[in-house]
Structure 1
Amino acid sequence: MLTSDFTFYSLLVPSIMSSLGIIMLCISHYNDLPHYLSSYAYALILFGLAILLNTILSGSALIEISSLVAILYFLSCAFHSKAIYERLTVDYLWPTYIYLISLGAFGIYYYTQVTADQTARLLIIGMTTAAIYLHRPIVFLRTPTRLRIDRYLKIFTFVTAVIAIGRAIVLTALLNDEGFVAHYEPAWAFTQLLLLLIELIFLGMFISCAILDLVLKLEQERYRDPLTGLLNRRGLEAYIQKINSDPDLQHAVLMADLDHFKSVNDRYGHQVGDLVLQHISQIFKANIRKKDQVSRIGGEEFLIVLPNIQKDAAFKIAERIRLQLEDTPLQHEQQHIDLTISIGVSFFKDPAEIEEAILAADQGLYQAKQMGRNQIQSA
């Protein structure tokens, strides 16, 4: 049942893959680690097991369980693809995975036990592998990436699919008889090393992604308001330090405060008050530029910094925020909660002057409140 060709070295690659998978599976069970780590761990374990069976079993034994080995391999590809899609926040489709795995396993069974054709088997493995990794190619291609490493992950997924098909074509050209590729030492050793290299690259990418996620989460907790996702005071200070101190540039500060927010809390409750704050936060984000930042500095008080901007443009942004909030009441349990905001505007050139600019914007906000609210004033 076992082949006499395998050695300790031929067991090295499947052992490494399975061991890495088991270690990653244990690590992934810790709290707050991303789900794609456990999916990739299952992929490594199944992949190692499939390679192990291909390595140690004789040709006759492989014929008997060819479909099982194919299912293990294709299932490992499915979990690997699932990990990639989870990381990139692309919806994966298990029905499509199951269909492709079934189709590939049937093809392996047919060209092993009904008609012995190694060329067909190799092509089926390559094409099915590529199809599993790219089972939603258009959505996968169009989904935007958050980080540079996500772009690399997407590119390498396409490269892996190409390698899977190219490997099948090359082995088909090199091997002409009806034996099993696993028993051709040079070709099998090269194939195993290539697969190990690919998996190590993916492993490094996934670990890097998990570390970056952890760093971003810590940064989010340190510099962001947990309710609105806006900068907190500490985050605002860090952002101000990055503002260009060129004396030829002008910057703006908007101090904004929701009108009659206390009455909203008293009438609808603090839970609805939180929804109001999240609602206005989304309006802020929709109406500022990419380089601008909004900070929640009090209960219903917000500070917006607009670097390198002309006076007219700053007032236009403030007016867009005011109008959109006025025209977009919060919808809650079939109720329309009308909201308005008052905004004070000031300008500065040197970042060292921002405290004075904030005080001036706060004075403008006070004037807007005194003059009837729902308006913009400059001190």
Structure 2
Amino acid sequence: MPDRKSFAPAASMVNVAVLLVAAGRGLRAGGTAGGLPKQYRPLGGEPVLSRTLRAFLADPRVGRITTIIHPDDADLAGACLAPFGHDPRVAAPVAGGATRQRSVRLGLEALAEASPDAVLIHDAVRPFVGAATIDACIRALEVRACVLAGVPVVDTVKRTDGDGVVAETIPREGLWRAATPQAFRFDTIMDAHRRAAAAGIDHLTDDGAVAEWAGHPVHMVACEEGNLKLTTSDDFSAAEQRLTAETFLRLPDVRVGVGYDIHSFEPGDAVVLGGVRIPHSHKLNGHSDSDAALHAITDAILGAIGDGDIGQHFSPADDRWKGAPSSIFLADAVARVTARGGIVAHVDVTIVAEAPKVGPHREAMRVAIAAACGLPVDRVGVKATTNEKIGAVGRREGLAAIATATIRLPVAP
């Protein structure tokens, strides 16, 4: 039993890690879109996991974010994390176990070497967690070791028997609906999980319960009602309506940009287009991976906000970008829109090439571009045409791409 009197307050939490729990299968969501577990389903054009990750990256005290995934979901998780690949705080995902408790312990073990001051453990399917809730949890850890975000119960609570007959009215004073994040001094929760595992305890449904089992006092802090867990199909429908209403009401400034890129061929075995590797007799000549489609889209987005072009932000003279995936450039352009409080609403790219054939890879390109831009696939257009054997492209000396991007921004005050 821990000695509660010996607990020492900390001056501040300057090294905070986050574990996003995304190892479940989402069976209560009433089926999945394309067979996707709910944490990977699109919400407002962006996978739920990506939205949740973005919420925590906004806090400068967060130094590392690790996602705990089902072992079968490596590709799905990789697609969600790819747009954040330029951020060193986003760690490689960790495969979870058969229970939530086991999954979290594996995630904590992955963090043990880094030994953060604190860890926030959060359901990946709570994408609406607010900055105020994250801040409240971190601040509470300055004087507490174990903190749970939750909502005080305001409704009358009834307990029924097996026939649905009310057996008891439970006083609501002191009752909370536990949510996440659940925040802990790292050493405290790591020790509690290890002790529970050693004792064969593997059925606890949240980390507050693990801390309670280990004898630690657990304190509640209030979070917003909107910090909802997406569990059912109705939850997703309500979340989509919420996002649509919020987004279009606050972003009335609609702008369109155009981008163009062309690359010559050189000996090789594949080209990269729209984030997809396509086997071919040549590759594209350029400093990065020479993805003309993503370059054109990047320039279209930058043009829509009047923020230069791709070469201005990622100089081909800079060795950092030699061979770099062009998704980095696109993610940066999208981030520039986001920094202005806006969104990318639609992109359309036409690839001009005699070869290789784009058609067989079109849908994979749309999916990759949608993930990078935070869009639903139906807001991404990918088309292809030849140059009718005219000019350098017609002579198969290279290929080109033309793109348009529509963005929405708030009106400046």
Common fold, TM-score beyond 0.5? no
RCO higher in structure (CA 8 A, sep ≥6): 2
The structure with more strand, counted as a fraction of residues: 2
TM class, shorter-length:
under 0.3
The structure with more helix, counted as a fraction of residues: 1
Structure having the higher Rg: 1
TM-score, reference length from structure 1: 0.24
TM-score, reference length from structure 2: 0.22
